Amino acid sequence: MSGAADTARLALACLDLTSLNDADTPADIEALCRRARSRHGDVAAVCVWPRFVAQARAALPASIRVAAVADFPEGALDPGRALRDTAEIVDAGGDEVDLVLPWRALAAGQVRESHALVAAVRRATPGRTLKLILESGELAQPDLIGAAARLGLDEGVDFLKTSTGKTAHSATPEAARVMLDAIRTHGRGATVGFKASGGIRRVADAAVYIDLVRSALGEAALGRARLRFGASGLLGDIEAVLGGAAPAPAGTGY
């Protein structure tokens, strides 16, 4: 049980507690922010739609970061939209931007245009954490996932993130290995983090990715500066484990 509890504590400290439902209301975000301060400790961040950034920032201490999504969930090759979303997040006091890579465009060979969109958002986020969502489950092929990861690393993103959680295929350990290898071997790799998102509902699910990060990036990477989990349901299992419940088996979401 101590092993599961240790994993749960780490997952809590690295959790981006997320609400990205189309019908989210201010009351939903108020409830999310209350949950972010659990009796076992605070999460790393909350992740919301851009329109809720100001509300979340006002409700939370500075120690809990506020993230919001840009060009989400489609990942369209639309720099104007990506920059409008980003400006809304930054102007409202957001700390972190989770940008969806134009992954369909990249897969179709529009490499230069994909680089340009990410570079533009990077320039628009000085002093903010920029996470790039690769939609790795949809790219599927290791060479495409690797190319997407290297694009983000070359353009200066702070985290590589697996998925939006809005497609049929989300995070997988196989994709995580490719992404982590790209981080490990890149010239900026010592400062770049990894975020697993999509289908991660149990502490046992998080443990898979913790082990992968430890193996690829070392023990020092196991903290919120370089490891995050994007989830809405994971907190319930974390609280159950830390409250003394037997850990649930890993799910099938990944």
| Closest-CA residue to 130 (of 172, 94, 183, 91) | 94
Length of the chain: 254
Q: From its phi and psi, is residue 198 left (phi > 0), alpha (psi between -120 and 50) or beta?
A: left
Three-state secondary structure string covering 119-179: HHHHHCCCCCEEEEECCHHHHCCHHHHHHHHHHHHHCCCCEEECCCCCCCCCCCHHHHHHH
| Neighbouring-strand partners of residue 195 | 161, 228
Q: Pick the catalytic residue: 131, 158, 195, 205?
A: 195
Residue whose token pair is 């979401």: 253
Catalytic member of 158, 161, 205, 237: 161
Helix 2-13 and helix 234-242, axial crossing angle in degrees, nearest 10:
140
Which residue of the set 98, 158, 205, 237 is catalytic?
Answer: 98
For residue 87 the two structure tokens come to: 């400006």
Annotation marks residue 131 as catalytic: no
Tell me phi and psi for residue 200, to 5 degrees: -100, 100
Active-site residues, by number, are: 98, 161, 195
